[in-house]
Amino acid sequence: MKTIVLLSDARNPVSGRQQLSRLEAQAIGLAAGLCEKPRGLHAGSGEDGVSAGLGHGLAGLDIIDLPATDDPLPALAGFIAKAMGGAGAPELILCGRRGEGGEETGLVPYRLAETLGLPILADAVAIRAGEIAGTLVVDQAMAKGARRRVTIKLPAIVTVHSLAPPPMPFAFGRMRRGEIRHHEPLERLGLPDTAARSDASAEERPHRARPKLMRQSGTASGGPNLHVGPEPDEAARLILDYLEANGIRRYGSS
Amino acid sequence: MTAAAFLPWLVVAMIAVAVVQIARRLFLWRRGKPATVDWLAGLKALPSRYLVDVHHVVDRDRSASKMHVPTAGGLVLASSLLVLGLVPAIAGSRAYWALVALAFLVMSAGVGLEARRRYPRALPRLSLGQWQRFPVLLGLFAGGGLLTSLLAALGNPLPALSFLTLIATATGGLALASTAATGPMRHALAGAAHLVAHPRPDRFGGGRSTGLRPLDLSVETPWSEKRREEPFEEEGPQKLGVETPSDFAWTRLLAFDACVQCGRCEAACPAFAAGQPLSPKHLIADLAAATAGGHVRPYAGQPYPNARETIGAAGLHAPIIAPDGMVHPDTLWSCTTCRACVEECPMMIEHVDAIVDLRRFQTLELGAVPLKAEEPLANFRGCDEPNGRALKERTDFAAGLALPRIADKGEADVLLWLGQAAYDLRGQRTLKALIQTLKSAGVDFAVLGDEERDCGDLARRLGDEATFQRLARANIAALSRYGFKRILTADPHALHVIRNEYPAFGGHYEVIHHTAFLAELVAAKRLAPAPLTGRAVTYHDPCYLGRYQGEVEAPRDLLDALGLERREMARSGKRSMCCGGGGGAPATDIPGDTRIPDIRMGQAMDTGARTVAVACPQCTAMLEGVTGERPEVKDVAELLWEALQAGERTNGPAVRELEPA
Amino acid sequence: MSRLRKDPRAERQERQVAAAGRRPRIDVGHREAKAASGRLRRDPWREWSASLVGESRRKRYDRSQRQMEHGNSARLTRARARDGVEATEISPGQPAVRVIDEPAFLVFAVITAAGGRLSRLDRQLLGAARLLADAGDGGGAAVAITAAFDPVTAKDLARSLGEAGADRVLSVPGDIHPSGTAAALRHHVEAFAPRHMLFAEDGDSADLARRLAVSLNEPLFAGVEHLTPRSAVRALRNGTREVALAPPLLMTLGEDRMKPYESGPCEARPLDIEVGPFGGDPAILSVEIIPGDPASLALSETDFVVSAGNGVSDFAAFGDLAAVLKATPGASRVVCDAGLMPRAAQVGASGTVLAADCYLALGISGAPQHLQGIAGCEHVIAVNTDLHAAMIERAGLAIVQDAQLVMPALVKLLAERQA
């Protein structure tokens, strides 16, 4: 199944150089499991960062040359819409849960889905082709290790969760063999940029680290919780009652 | 007709059989990659390479040289004499046969000495199997030849016996000849050819050649402008590194065949000693076996310690390192690139080059580095520093030392290359001592500051040639902006890389290790250390300083100048043992029975010295990581600074006077 | 803590008789109840007595950051009031419920409340909603929106929602997939026009927020790190830059960024609204929930860890216990060093630092490095023979007994309960 992986303009936090975001590298890993020749798609300027995607398993990379300040969405939507109209249309579009470099709100996949009229699924940790042709089975990450297995009709957009398998290791030789095509942004599709509206009162400034709240334990029940030398059966009962009272687990029929 | 009359023809037959066998081997070697060889120079240098360089190494094990000289000499002499016997006039002379018998006697004596090494029980490092049978065949040939020619010299008194001895001679001789391509005998021709066509001719005649060769990455890179809008080519650029035996240059395939499985490399290998799955001997034997493909005899030496099972499929065009290949990746990643095996090899085989070439394919083409080594390589790509630290933080440790930057000064006598140690608390102590010493000696020095990237040693040894070349070029570009006479560094790895490996990228610098530089300052009386008498130290030679550069004297001179009682470990100088910190081994972290630094620290403790003097931040870190009761680990620079401070306390003004204006 | 704070100025204003150009006159007969200002009156005595522990009545800091259940707090107040001070007289029994009848505006907080219980992040979201609802002149109402609000558990959930600061509760259809929920949410937004809407930057909530943002064509302020009534701040570019603006309509909040609401309970009045059935996404063919298998989960992902230390010798029994408890097995460093459990199971500073809700430590004394690894666990149960072990001190339920004896008893009791 033909797969496109959207790549954003991530930066190394230490050096500030362009690099491939880890989530997108994981997305490439998932794509490579489905598709023999997954291709990357990036709209922006510079290819130093995204070309690493070739080293992580992409067969080719399409770059839409755009100034870094432009909203990439219309160009991406235009490119994908054109590709979907042609032969060998992409069936699956994978992206990280949240791209880097722009507003970093994670809205691009959703806006893309809206523009192209495609269904979207979030937080995939595993994907495989469905039994019926043209379907995809996606395992979505949920709390406490649960997974939601969704079968979806293709084409679709799927975002990848950080719990997905680690990316394929980077190989320079693969990157050297990969092919990069540059494109001019031809068609632009899509909604007006909503981000612009929020910019009016927005103030961008250097980040100030703010501590998170401390996670500390509390003894939930107020009574004396120290039991010295109870019978093992009594101890077991105390433990299970504590677990059930605090909603950790429910055992038995209740 | 006497039995002895057949001996010349036996030799002719042996030569014929051997030629056919060797031709088959030659054909195999030629399927390696082409290599440029200066045949004329190689042939000219062969006698001296063999008689001086090889003999020097062989002679470290006296029993080996005592065995080899008569065996090989006798064999060559007897065979040459016997070829002369094809002339009927000579064959009729009894004196001639006495001469032949003498040659066989010499050879028999040699074979006897060799047999002593193997029977009743072989030295543990030696291989068994066909190598164990080898002296038997040699003995048959030498003993049979001796008796046959002796009988001929005596006028053939026992014709029946002489025919029996002739049969023994023929059996031994033809068996040796028929295994000339696959058996132990192949070392003779392959060894000689290897000496002629050696990939590192500079090694001979006292020179050193230890820098890795750059890999040609210049084939179109994907970001080149030319590739815009061009169709995707199925046939991409050339494969990087070595995947199959045929990816080695043919001279290297030849070298693997030169191996005599003497096991000296194995005995010297720190990874083998620590029970990690690496034996250089086994690896070279595997590479030779892989070249030959199906028709090889199984290996009969000690197995890779704690090795994981491999299927062992081999062939000239089959991957060597693969789940179903000959060698498990753990073997490859156990190497510390300490070159102890290379230093010990009497056949001058370059094990480390082979390992790095194999690693390059794994890293560059497959990305198959061990899990823990992925992070430093990713950090190199992201921010030029293996631990992901910012380059501008490199000088943070020297906040109170007013470290001069070359960008502010424009030029300086000495450029101080800080290296990786500047990020490490322990390494910073050494660097501080060095910087303070330089200041008290009034040396005009400066650092690159945030323009100094990692030298790329770790990346290169882990096989990431692309990253290394990028870092090397960036560093050379930064260095070229400033004027300085010499680069000073406390890190032998950086020293080696800048001195020996940057020239291939256009960076030619005079690089000096801090031990040599400080020894110079002390010799020039620019520093006046007070004697630190009453302390015994043992000096641990860093591989990248001792073996790689051959610099073993300067640090010892410096320690002697400090008045320390210097004790040598069992392995020291160029034959020192590795601390386990090189070649990315701490990053790959292949498990073994014990740890290499523990072994080395054990050797240091055997000397009874209370201090281990070191001269490399890697060695410091590895040896300090040894737990339990152990000697303290001090860099030579720290000991010197201690002595200087002691001197300042006793005769402070004297030091002031020594300071130049 | 319980009673509403008086606002004398407002009361005076209330009673003034309008008379142009003259001094204001007070209508003394005016006794009409006035709408709550929203600010509560503190009850320092109660807070003081609640913070006394043990027989010696020593003061201690309450680091639990948990809203004390009001029943409990009342009980504690009665039980622990200092002699001679009748704390119960000051604020007897049930604290007054804060009621906002006619909210000036609404702040939505979309919470998960998995299993009918509020998570830390749920409480923090409601705390943030409360903060925004009380912003400026106040008078706003915090509305908890949850799919988990089913009639059976409604009472418990409503009470804890009230304690967490919700004035209203609004339910959305418990659709199994966010695409349906998003449509219902949009319906609510159109019906109530909230001033702000808060989501968790996590799981389905994050998905919902983005679906809604696109559907409403509104910008989304994702991953708020710092929130005040005047400004919301979030990080950009790997945490090197940040952007601040007045709190917008749609925001998502990361965990442990906002304090939960800690004052007296709010009303949590359910809002009735017709929500038509929303069809799911036609492209979704089937949905199936696969529960997490605790045994195979990574330690960092699980919610309940049962861990073995030096006091455990029978590891087969320990494995069985972990399986029947539906917990992820972990181990102390000693056990991993000895090779009795895999290295991946090691809990502590050099192993895995847990984010689990509950930690059951069997035979672990609690080395400092180990305790660092469980610093984030809300509930800790310790079984250890040493009364003075650090783990016993750290635990919410501490049992001084041999873990080897307790393990089979637990297995037996679990079998009985499940029968």
DSSP calls for B178-192: HTTTTSTTHHHHHHH
Candidates A93, A197, A207: best to mutate against C (most CBs of C within 10 A) is A207
From chain B, pick out residues whose CB is under 8 angstroms from the CB of A55: 367
Task: Kindly determine whether residue C222 and residue A153, on different chains, have CB atoms separated by under 8 Å.
Answer: no
| pLDDT bucket at B453, cuts 50 / 70 / 90 | very high
pLDDT of C254 above 50 = yes
Residues A237 and A190 in one domain: no
Residues A75 and A159 in one domain: yes
A88-97 pLDDT tens trace: 788 999 999 8
Residues A190 and A225 in one domain: no
User: At residue C55, what is the residue type?
Assistant: E
Pairing between β-strand C52-53 and β-strand C58-59 as defined by DSSP bridges? antiparallel
User: What pLDDT, on a 0 to 100 scale, did the predictor assign at position A197?
Assistant: 53
From chain C, pick out residues whose CB is under 8 angstroms from the CB of A202: 243-245
pLDDT of B361 above 90 = yes
Looking at the complex, report in whole angstroms how far the Cα of residue A77 sits from the nearest Cα belonging to chain C: 15
- Compare all CA atoms of chain B with the CA of A182 and give the residue at the minimum distance: B228
Nearest CB among A122, A222, A230 relative to C72 is that of A222
Partner A contacted by C308 (CB < 8 A): no
Nearest CB among B227, B378, B384 relative to A179 is that of B227
Pairing between β-strand C250-253 and β-strand C196-200 as defined by DSSP bridges? parallel
Please, what is the average pLDDT of chain A?
84
Tell me the C-alpha distance between C358 and C330, whole Å.
12
User: What pLDDT, on a 0 to 100 scale, did the predictor assign at position B34?
Assistant: 86
Nearest CB among A176, A179, A182 relative to B232 is that of A179
Cβ–Cβ under 8 Å, residues B561 and B635: no
- The residue out of A150, A176, A194 marking a domain boundary is A194
C86-99 pLDDT tens trace: 333 334 455 678 88
Tell me the C-alpha distance between C199 and C185, whole Å.
12
pLDDT of B315 above 60 = yes
Cβ–Cβ under 8 Å, residues C399 and C382: yes
Task: Kindly determine whether residue C235 and residue A207, on different chains, have CB atoms separated by under 8 Å.
Answer: yes
From chain A, pick out residues whose CB is under 8 angstroms from the CB of B364: 171-173
Nearest CB among C256, C281, C397 relative to A239 is that of C397
- Give the neighbours of chain A: at least 3 Cβ pairs within 8 Å: B, C
Structural domain contains residue A215? no
User: What pLDDT, on a 0 to 100 scale, did the predictor assign at position C67?
Assistant: 40
Mean pLDDT of B475-492: 93
DSSP calls for B195-235: HHT-S-GGGSTT----PPPPP---S--TTSGGGTTPPPPSS
| pLDDT bucket at C11, cuts 50 / 70 / 90 | confident
pTM, two decimals, is 0.83
3-class DSSP state for residue B424?
A: coil
pLDDT of C287 above 60 = yes
Nearest CB among B222, B229, B365 relative to A54 is that of B222
pLDDT of B27 above 90 = no
Tell me the C-alpha distance between A229 and B596, whole Å.
48
Q: Which two tokens stand for residue A85?
A: 């109209």
Mean pLDDT of B263-278: 92
- Compare all CA atoms of chain A with the CA of B393 and give the residue at the minimum distance: A14
| Residue A59: closest CA among A182, A175, A171, A183 | A175
DSSP calls for C326-373: T-EEEE-HHHHHTTSS-GGGBBSTTSBPP--SEEEEES----HHHHHH
CA count, 13 A, side-chain hemisphere, B512: 19
Looking at the complex, report in whole angstroms how far the Cα of residue A227 sits from the nearest Cα belonging to chain C: 5
User: What pLDDT, on a 0 to 100 scale, did the predictor assign at position B112?
Assistant: 92
B496-542 pLDDT tens trace: 999 999 999 999 999 999 999 999 999 998 988 888 888 899 999 99
Examine chains A and C and say if they touch (3+ CB pairs below 8 A).
yes
Mean pLDDT of A168-190: 83
Structural domain contains residue A210? no
Please, what is the average pLDDT of chain B?
87
Question: Which has the minimum average pLDDT: A18-22, A179-183, B88-92?
Answer: B88-92
> Which class for B120: exposed (0-12), middle (13-18), buried (19 or more C-beta within 10 A)?
exposed
The structure tokens 């049978």 sit at B133
- Give the neighbours of chain B: at least 3 Cβ pairs within 8 Å: A
Task: Kindly determine whether residue B382 and residue A177, on different chains, have CB atoms separated by under 8 Å.
Answer: no
Cβ–Cβ under 8 Å, residues C352 and C377: no
From chain A, pick out residues whose CB is under 8 angstroms from the CB of B382: 12, 14-15, 17, 19
Task: Kindly determine whether residue C214 and residue A235, on different chains, have CB atoms separated by under 8 Å.
Answer: no
Question: Which has the minimum average pLDDT: A54-68, C65-79, C113-127, C251-265?
Answer: C65-79
Examine chains A and B and say if they touch (3+ CB pairs below 8 A).
yes
Mean pLDDT of B542-557: 92
| DSSP 8-class letter at C95 | P
Question: Which has the minimum average pLDDT: A7-16, B400-409, C14-23?
Answer: C14-23
C129-142 pLDDT tens trace: 999 988 877 788 89
Partner B contacted by A60 (CB < 8 A): yes
Tell me the C-alpha distance between C250 and C212, whole Å.
9
| Residue B350: closest CA among B437, B254, B228 | B254
Mean pLDDT of C32-61: 62
B287-301, B402-416, C277-291: which is most confident:
B402-416
Size of interface A-B (CB pairs under 8 A): 83
User: What pLDDT, on a 0 to 100 scale, did the predictor assign at position C39?
Assistant: 59
Task: Kindly determine whether residue A174 and residue B367, on different chains, have CB atoms separated by under 8 Å.
Answer: yes
User: What pLDDT, on a 0 to 100 scale, did the predictor assign at position C92?
Assistant: 47
Mean pLDDT of C55-61: 60
Partner B contacted by A17 (CB < 8 A): yes
Looking at the complex, report in whole angstroms how far the Cα of residue C220 sits from the nearest Cα belonging to chain A: 7
User: What pLDDT, on a 0 to 100 scale, did the predictor assign at position C149?
Assistant: 63
| pLDDT bucket at C155, cuts 50 / 70 / 90 | confident
- Element of type H or E holding A239: helix A232-245
Cβ–Cβ under 8 Å, residues B334 and B433: no
**What ipTM describes this predicted complex?**
0.87
Architecture of domain B536-658: 3-Layer(aba) Sandwich (3.40)
Cβ–Cβ under 8 Å, residues A189 and C330: no
Partner B contacted by A34 (CB < 8 A): no
Nearest CB among B237, B367, B382 relative to A15 is that of B382
B226-257 pLDDT tens trace: 343 443 344 456 788 898 888 899 999 989 98
**Which B residues 191-220 touch A at CB under 8 Å?**
217, 219-220
From chain C, pick out residues whose CB is under 8 angstroms from the CB of A152: 283-285
Candidates A123, A217, A246: best to mutate against C (most CBs of C within 10 A) is A217
Task: Kindly determine whether residue C396 and residue A219, on different chains, have CB atoms separated by under 8 Å.
Answer: yes
Residues A159 and A242 in one domain: no
| pLDDT bucket at A192, cuts 50 / 70 / 90 | low
| Residue A92: closest CA among A17, A4, A214 | A4
Question: Which has the minimum average pLDDT: B206-220, B414-428, B522-536?
Answer: B206-220
3-class DSSP state for residue B365?
A: helix
Partner A contacted by C47 (CB < 8 A): no
Question: Which has the minimum average pLDDT: A223-227, B357-361, C117-121?
Answer: A223-227
User: What pLDDT, on a 0 to 100 scale, did the predictor assign at position C73?
Assistant: 46
Q: What's the topology of domain B241-366?
A: Fumarate Reductase Iron-sulfur Protein; Chain B, domain 2 (1.10.1060)
- Compare all CA atoms of chain A with the CA of C208 and give the residue at the minimum distance: A122
From chain B, pick out residues whose CB is under 8 angstroms from the CB of A29: none
Residues A176 and A109 in one domain: yes
**Which C residues 263-292 touch A at CB under 8 Å?**
281-292
- Compare all CA atoms of chain B with the CA of A12 and give the residue at the minimum distance: B382
Task: Kindly determine whether residue A52 and residue B222, on different chains, have CB atoms separated by under 8 Å.
Answer: no
Looking at the complex, report in whole angstroms how far the Cα of residue B363 sits from the nearest Cα belonging to chain A: 6
Identify the CATH number of the domain defined by range B387-523.
3.40.50
Domain boundaries, position A252:
220-254
- Compare all CA atoms of chain B with the CA of A184 and give the residue at the minimum distance: B229
Please, what is the average pLDDT of chain C?
79
Task: Kindly determine whether residue A227 and residue C124, on different chains, have CB atoms separated by under 8 Å.
Answer: no
Task: Kindly determine whether residue C414 and residue A240, on different chains, have CB atoms separated by under 8 Å.
Answer: yes
Nearest CB among C243, C246, C378 relative to A204 is that of C243
From chain A, pick out residues whose CB is under 8 angstroms from the CB of B383: 12, 14-15, 17
More confidently predicted of B224 and B304? B304
C316-349 pLDDT tens trace: 999 999 988 888 999 998 888 888 888 888 998 8
User: What pLDDT, on a 0 to 100 scale, did the predictor assign at position B650?
Assistant: 73
- Structural domain spans, chain B: 3-196, 241-366, 387-523, 536-658
- Compare all CA atoms of chain A with the CA of B366 and give the residue at the minimum distance: A171
User: What pLDDT, on a 0 to 100 scale, did the predictor assign at position C148?
Assistant: 63
Q: What's the topology of domain C294-418?
A: Rossmann fold (3.40.50)
Identify the CATH number of the domain defined by range C106-270.
3.40.50.620
- Helix, strand, coil percent values for chain B (each to nearest 5): 55, 5, 35
Structural domain contains residue A214? no
DSSP calls for B452-464: ----SHHHHHTT-
Residues A187 and A242 in one domain: no
C373-398 pLDDT tens trace: 888 788 889 999 988 888 888 888 88
- Compare all CA atoms of chain C with the CA of A231 and give the residue at the minimum distance: C401
Question: Which has the minimum average pLDDT: A116-130, A146-160, B169-183?
Answer: B169-183
pLDDT of C256 above 80 = yes
Partner A contacted by C376 (CB < 8 A): yes
Tell me the C-alpha distance between B418 and B422, whole Å.
6
Task: Kindly determine whether residue A171 and residue B364, on different chains, have CB atoms separated by under 8 Å.
Answer: yes
Partner A contacted by C152 (CB < 8 A): no
Partner B contacted by A22 (CB < 8 A): no
Query: What CATH number did the domain enclosing A10 receive?
Result: 3.40.50.620
Tell me the C-alpha distance between B172 and B151, whole Å.
18
Cβ–Cβ under 8 Å, residues A154 and A168: no
Partner A contacted by C303 (CB < 8 A): yes
Task: Kindly determine whether residue A176 and residue B222, on different chains, have CB atoms separated by under 8 Å.
Answer: yes
Q: CA dihedral in degrees (B240, B246, B249, B254; nearest 10)?
A: 150
Q: Which two tokens stand for residue C299?
A: 């330690």
Residues A179 and A228 in one domain: no
Residues 6+ apart with CB under 8 A from B239: A173, B247, B361, B365
- Compare all CA atoms of chain A with the CA of B450 and give the residue at the minimum distance: A15
**Alpha-carbon torsion (B262, B267, B271, B274), positive or negative:** positive
Residues 6+ apart with CB under 8 A from B224: none
Cβ–Cβ under 8 Å, residues B433 and B638: yes
Partner A contacted by C378 (CB < 8 A): yes
A68-117 pLDDT tens trace: 777 888 888 888 888 888 777 889 999 998 888 878 888 899 999 988 88
User: What pLDDT, on a 0 to 100 scale, did the predictor assign at position B230?
Assistant: 41
